[in-house]
Amino acid sequence: MIIRIFTCIVLFYTTSFGQNKQYINRLLQVGAYKVNANYGYYASKGDTIPQGAFTMKSFDADAASADLKQYFLLNGTFQNQMPGKAWRFQFGKFKLDGTQELVNYRLNVKLSGVFHTALVNFREGKTHGKWSHKINRVDKSNIKETLFESSALLENGLAKGIIRMEDTQAILLGRFLKSGFAHDVWEVNFGNAPDRTEQWHFKEGRLEKIVLEKDFQPKTIYLYKDNIPQAQATTVSLDHVYLKILSLQHLSDSTSYTKIGSKIASLIQQNSYCNQKINDIFTGMKSISGKAIPMPLFQVKVARYPLKEAEKAHIANLKADYEKSMEVSKFLLTNTKLNILKHADEEVFFLLSVIQEVDKKYLSVIKKIVEYQAMGVLDFWQRNRMQLQLGLDKKYSPEVLVSLQDSTNTQQKAFTGPNPALLNANEVGYAYLAKIAQYARSCVDSVAQRLNKKLSNQKIQRQLDALEKVIIQKFNQLTRLSDSLGKKLPKRYKSTTKSMRLAVNKEIKLYSTNEDLSTKSAQARGIITCLDNMKSLVSTLALLPKRWDTIQKLYTEQVWNPFTATIMNDQIKERLTDAYHKLLVPSVLTKVKVGLTCAQAKGLRSILDQLYAQMKAFRKQDTSKLERKLRRENDPNTVLELFGISTQIKNLKR
């Protein structure tokens, strides 16, 4: 596929006074797309009745950009306010190749990506005729492979006859009755894998059994083996919701099914995804047609277990508790003040960990109910199956255990919410789930109250929020840098990075416990400066091995040995190099390892940088007098003075 890029801006509004037909270009939200729609309409009694060609198109034509691009095209026809005849959809996600050609005053650009084309047909407002999808992978404007393809025949909105689905691995053929229900054997052809088969056996919409075979070993999984009782039988669409219903009702051995392949389910899932994209777009067109546009019916039957009013009330309550718990949890876990405070306050760290454990232990279960309600599948879940699948056959413990680790070991600390009796209630099903959600919310609220008390003593001005974010960012950068360099540094240097983090942690702890707002801003800036100096010191330490190699080469001369008649390397000014390598650098490293403070970081880095610069300068100078003095001197502080190094760091030790 070649995209021709050119720009043409036309503003128009025409009226055919003889027929009273008008044309409009308006912005419209359809599904995930917000694009301009072009169509004609008649005005009748204050209403607009769309008639004739309908076009929507969205395309980012910036050839200079290498970003992933979206493409959307829709062409169709309205007849008497409803869709009619053929409609064509095209969706694309792609990147431009970058190679451009100018041909006949048009700029041609090749592209690579995935394109989905859908063709649907209508008659008198109902889907009628062929309904198809095709997803191609395109490489440099050439179709490389078809990732997915499906086609079905529709008659007055109902699927009828053969349906075909295909991906890169297999082809599925199935059949619908005139009534629109799946029927007979739906079978997958795996092509080059004759030892593998999969069949779904439908009878008037009811999935009786699944027959699987791999390595010529057959397995039959029975689902709705017998007729579904009339009171429970319900018609649903053959889509992703239907697959979720089968999963919830646990009618099949899902482990065996997944292990062997589950190909039919994945093809149905993909086809459902494609159909849903079209459905979302037509749903958005209701604002144009004024009527709901019916989608095709691919029908199957399942058993339904309607929710009672009391169950609906429990679900509403647990949903409200879940949403409030998640809102509060998110606020606490992302609060910058608390994330600073947890470094110094063990209780804050514990309480934030409790929030995370409450989500894992209680809210993750409630999340499933909320999601399944949004999908509309709770009506199809047998209560006894729900009990087993969610682990409700046993009472939940009200105790939340948190693992806390210090420098020596790991220990567990327990948290119990304010009303643990909720979880011991003599309830089952949705009533008990509502109790779990209620208890989880009480835990979150209790933790929030305790943390808010902590925060009330740490009222920080707005400018501190920005400073604390910088502190967290720079602390994480220092940790990553020191961990990375720690693996590369010689053994004698490795403990220095740990000392730096301890020094910063000490400053953060002092900052966290300081309640004097008048000094906190300067203190936060001091920590930022400290982190910058520590980062520079780490970088300088990382250079020490390379600097020593440079100094050794610099202080090596080649001399002629008349006794061996060879050129030999001779180390010169050894007292200088020994003082640098064996006395001064080790003394600085000792200072870094033992009792390092933020105030010293910049000075220690400066000493190392000055030493290196001075060693390079000494090479070209007459240093005989200095070398004689070094013969009698082993104190690093005195040697620094002899080297001409100015520093406020005192009491360096060997």
Is pLDDT above 60 for 16?
A: no
Question: Distance between CA 161 and CA 338 in Å, rounded?
Answer: 63
**How much is the pLDDT for 273?**
94
Region 140-158: what's the mean pLDDT? Answer: 94
Alpha-carbon distance of 149 to 127, in angstroms, equals 19
Residue 166: predicted pLDDT: 95
Residue 362 pLDDT level (bands cut at 50, 70, 90) = very high
Per-residue pLDDT band at 249 (split at 50, 70, 90): confident
Q: Which two tokens stand for residue 210?
A: 């699944």
Structure tokens at 61: 């034509």
pLDDT beyond 90 at 1:
no
pLDDT at 225: 84
Radius of gyration of the chain (CA): 37
pLDDT value, residue 87: 95
| β-bridge partners, 165 | 150, 172
Residue 314 pLDDT > 90: yes
- The mean pLDDT of 46-64, rounded to a whole number, is 79
Instruction: Give the model's pLDDT for residue 468.
Output: 86
Please give the C-alpha separations between residue 49 and each of 52, 121, 443, 508, in angstroms, as whole numbers: 10, 20, 56, 68
Give the pLDDT mean for 618-639: 87
pLDDT the model gives residue 631: 87
C-alpha distances out from residue 645 to 333, 639, 653, Å? 48, 9, 16
SS3 427: coil
* Per-residue pLDDT, 353: 95
Confidence of residue 141 (pLDDT cuts 50, 70, 90): confident
167-176 confidence digits (pLDDT tens): 998 999 999 9
What mean pLDDT value characterizes the chain? 86
Give me the phi and psi of 222, to 5 degrees please. -90, 135
Q: Residue 262: pLDDT above 50? A: yes
pLDDT per residue over 335-352, tens digit each? 998 998 888 888 999 999
pLDDT tier for residue 3 given thresholds of 50, 70 and 90: very low
CA distance between the termini of the chain: 73
DSSP β-ladder status, 171-176 and 182-189: antiparallel
Q: What percent of the chain has pLDDT over 90?
A: 41
For the chain, give every domain's residue range. Answer: 22-303, 309-460, 489-643
Give the CA dihedral 152, 155, 157, 159, nearest 10 degrees. Answer: -40
CB neighbour list of residue 381: distance below 8 Å, 6 or more residues apart: 248, 249, 305, 372
pLDDT at 56: 92
> Does position 12 have pLDDT exceeding 50, yes or no?
no
Tokens 């974010």 locate to 469
Helices (H) and strands (E) in the chain, counts: 18, 23
Among 541, 559, 561, residue whose Cα is nearest residue 611: 541
Count the neighbouring beta carbons within 10 Å of the beta carbon of residue 26. 10
Percent of the chain with pLDDT over 70: 89
pLDDT number for residue 480: 86
The predicted pLDDT at position 72 comes to: 92
- For tokens 């948290």, the residue is 415
